[in-house]
Structure 1
């Protein structure tokens, strides 16, 4: 990784300093003699501080990941109560389910520029603060317009943090991209599952008000702000005012849209997001229409989401050890095709098996995050690749759930929607193989 990338996007290079490097930190004099112990002690202290800061970054990654989905899944759990409380029409409620992907695409584009100006740590810190404010304000905003605006604020914080998490991992843990992506992905899956499972019980325990049930998740977001305040302050102290020039140089020499790998990764990300949103939005209804009870259908969805917790930790570690991640994309796609076949042929009889297969298939998300970190040689490249991949990908994912709902409504059954889902899995496998090739976007641009 280039030094200017580290200065701009990650920790100060101080913790990695070796004895041979030390004169560069001083006045250019020769190595200190036996009587000059103070510089040595200074560098030891700096190394210890850098080690502590890395642990703070790890805590920040986990806490941030835990907060990247509860604002969405908690709302899904209480959507009926929200609609009744705000007098929200079905059309507006349908729009609300599409807003996350739109916000992720729109606000994610701004993440690289913000990161170059303020540093990823400061932007993620602001993102966590935006989630906190948006989540706590929206239940009490006084109407549908205020609810949507506050939701947009929270989603903006989620969007920029989504883009910058792979950047933070690449900057701070360049030699451990797989394990750290796995830890982050596991925490994200855990936050998704916990919000879906606990929102209703917590709402009941706190008096039964949907407003309280939604606002309580702001507490977790507020806790996530704290480690990123430390990281942002350290970056300002270590990087200084010269980092903007380094970032600008990286910006002008890399044209992400000319990279075939970047496009393959963006389409792969978009198709896996489409499958995930369709699964979260429609899988329980498929089971209920097949005769499965509402309670069991909800548990089946929880099982699908929970599969991502252990697999999201293991899969990136495995992917990082492979030169070509295409075989993993094929395996996950085949699990998805098998799950769709089961939903078509015997949705109720094999419901638990299909839920497990869909849960495995949904782990294309951590695979995509891992490949984002591996397809660039620098943190500046990862910034651009992450923003491009996620912005384009989330735009691709917007029509999927709406199209499935339209086909279901007009056909009166699940045959055509499931055929669409299976059909989209085929190009996902193809572009996953292309994105998994051992290439770097800098070589292609």
Structure 2
């Protein structure tokens, strides 16, 4: 297939560029050179393995969520959930990402980023295997939290690993990672319902099958478990640079709020969009495909947007374009959800590509690997905290209003500050500069 051939050629290109990366980092100064030293000193197979590990990890960062979204009605019926409790369930991912994501930099300093990501993939595998057979709503939530804990630490460490191993190709590698993430998201949304039907219509089997993909993602990270160097790939960062007070940076706060609002929109979409279409009269299988279309839009765009963003002095215009697409998609859901369903799915899929844009800006708004680690943890943990009420409010508004008018109005209103924060976060400056002032 074309996707596989392009992926193979990309990995080959990265390996061939190792020598050029090493020489260019020595020309750019000690900070750049130390960030790149592990990648420049490894053999070709090691670079290929880390690329494979990044791709497989990214494929597993959303199926735990979108597979549940596709079967939410069946899970609610099977466990006896109310609409409000289902809203809590859709709020669990950002809560776990906020709580566990902030631990990622400290764990990476102690055990090494490779070991933490490997453990994260193990946690995802265990959580996905356990939760369908938990037997009660509380146990289902606990098992989901285990999987989401693994996703949370991997979420934070992916930009750090990209900055560490590929400092001269942040846009390309962020694009590859984001593209794989979008592919995993859309695949889970598209095939969970038909896969469940093929397995006898048992929703437990339809959810548990995704543990196999997570188990495969453990393997490439095993060789890196004993690599306990700091994320910046050198001696402890505090010995080389002053402590970064990230909360003093306006850009860090703007990026955190932008991340939180785009996450709110994304988790509302993943958790509720299929249900919106089903309530409008769209068959369940078609609603799953519509959700898949929304997610699959991120496959090509998640690769293109980071590459474009790294070439622009200001990423704000990209945030504005994505926001306008979101506003148009919400308007369509309100006025003609079934009649224009495919168009709204496409527009909301474009809008959801604010996620790879946010990840790219994390890598661009800090100069060093240590700065990226702090900014990634701060922006993602704070952002996911901000996003927690959104899916819950949608569930409450839906249950008490008896329709989707108020929830869609909420989604529309949140898009305006998202666009504004994207403009502020896109300015050409670094958190180190702002914190120093």
Per-residue CA deviations over 1:237-269 (Å, capped at 9, x if unaligned) read: 6849x9896134478610111110000000001
Matches within 5 A, 1:114-263: 114-233=107-226, 239=229, 246-249=236-239, 253-263=243-253
Q: Decide whether the 8 Å contact of 1:67 with 1:188 is kept in 2.
A: yes
Give me the TM-score of the superposition, normalised by structure 2: 0.85
Matched ranges for 1:45-444 at <5 A: 49-88=42-81, 91-233=84-226, 239=229, 246-249=236-239, 253-444=243-434
Deviation at 1:154, TM superposition (A): 1.0
In the TM superposition, residue 84 of structure 1 has moved relative to its aligned partner by 4.5
Local SS of the residue matching 1:212: helix
Deviations 1:162-204 (A, max 9, x none): 0000110111111111111111111111111111222233333
Distance 1:145 1:297, change over 3 A: closer
Instruction: Report Cα offsets for 1:348-384 as digits up to 9, x if no partner.
Output: 3333222211111110011001101111011111111
Does residue 1:13 correspond to 2:37, yes or no? yes
Taking the aligned partners of 1:414 and 1:213, their CA distance within structure 2 comes to 27
Q: List alignment gaps of at least 5 residues for structure 2.
A: 1-24
Distance 1:345 1:250, change over 3 A: farther
TM-score normalised by length of structure 1:
0.84
SS at match of 1:68: coil
Cα pair distance change 1:153/1:295, threshold 3 Å: closer
| Matching residue of 2:11 | none
Q: Confirm or deny: 8 A CA contact 2:39 2:47 kept in the other structure.
A: no
The root-mean-square deviation of aligned C-alpha atoms, in Å, is 3.0
Structure 1 unmatched ranges of 5 or more: 18-48
More displaced, 221-230 or 191-200?
A: 191-200
Which structure has the larger Rg? 1
Contact kept in structure 2, 1:14 and 1:50, CA below 8 Å: no
Partner of 1:30 in structure 2?
none
CA distance in 2, matches of 1:408, 1:14: 51
**Hey, what does 1:31 align to over in structure 2?**
none
Shift of residue 399, structure 1, vs aligned partner = 1.1
Question: For 1:82 and 1:88, how far apart are their aligned partners in 2?
Answer: 8
The offset of 1:288, in angstroms, is: 4.3
Deviation of the 1:123 alpha carbon: 0.7
- Tell me the distance in 1 between the aligned counterparts of 2:135 and 2:273: 32
Check conservation: 1:15, 1:51, Cα contact below 8 A: no
The separation in 1 between residues aligned to 2:141 and 2:303, in whole angstroms, is: 33
Which secondary structure state, in structure 1, belongs to the residue aligned with residue 225 of structure 2? Answer: helix
How many angstroms apart in 1 are the aligned matches of 2:36 and 2:360? 24
Alpha-carbon distance, 1:393 to partner: 0.7
Cα separation, 2, equivalents of 1:177 and 1:355: 29
How many residues of Structure 1 are paired with residues of Structure 2 in the alignment?
409
Q: How does 1:34-45 map to 2 (within 5 A)?
A: none
Shift of 1:318: 0.9
Change (3 A) 1:251 1:69: farther
